[in-house]
Amino acid sequence: MIECYRSDAIKRMNRPSRLALAVSKLENGKYNVITLGWFMHTSFEPPMFAISVAQKRYSYELLSKNRKFVLSIPSTKMGRQVMKCGVISGRNLDKISEYNIKTQMGKLSDIPLLKDAVVNFECKTISQIRSGDHTIFIGEVKYSWQNEDENLKQLLVIPENENYKVLIKNGRYIFGTVGK
């Protein structure tokens, strides 16, 4: 082992890494989508997921007010949408209509599922914990959904090498999938 900068170690740890989207509700009946790298499964019984959202994000305000969200795992059909939802704020833009994100009604609330995702989880927020400049929202899964297309591949943050297929690049982010 050689000591290194934390940023270099984190870069190495995260290639490849999974991505998620969280859909939250605006007061005007519209919805916002944020791209997340920081999310995890935290309990089997009851089933729970945690997502970590910076306090400066618009999604933080929405998640704090409306105690429900949809956690969505994007497919390779969603590369551009995931990139855009990860660099543009929904404060002044309706990302769902601007980026043509297909939705479908769920069962828990009026917050929609993302139709081109691999899976969607409808969550009820049961607690939140401040963690430095981010807040961890813990959601209990009430309903789970999977795409009818079983061959749909998951979108990943990937290293640029021959074992991964690059789908979209933007600055330091490269999204793609496993294999050619």
Positions in 85-144 near ligand FMN (CB under 6 A)? 86-91, 134
* Angle made by CA atoms 102, 127, 157, in degrees to the nearest 5: 45
Positions in 145-164 near ligand FMN (CB under 6 A)? 157
Dig out the tokens for 82 from the structure: 């995931």
Chain centroid to CA 111: 15
At 56, give phi and psi (nearest 5°): -85, -10
Going residue by residue from 40 to 79, which x/- string records binding to ligand FMN, judged by CB under 6 A? ------------xxx--xxx--------------------
- What is the Cα–Cα distance from 138 to 39, expressed in whole angstroms? 10
**Which part of the chain contacts ligand FMN (CB under 6 A), choosing from 27-35, 70-78, 107-115, 137-145?**
27-35
Residue whose CB is less far from ligand FMN, 88 or 108: 88
| Minimum gap (Å) between residue 115 Cβ and ligand FMN | 20
Which ranges of 66-108 does DSSP label H, i.e. alpha helix?
A: 79-85, 95-98
Contact residues: ligand FMN, CB under 6 A: 19, 32, 34-38, 52-54, 57-59, 86-91, 134, 157, 173
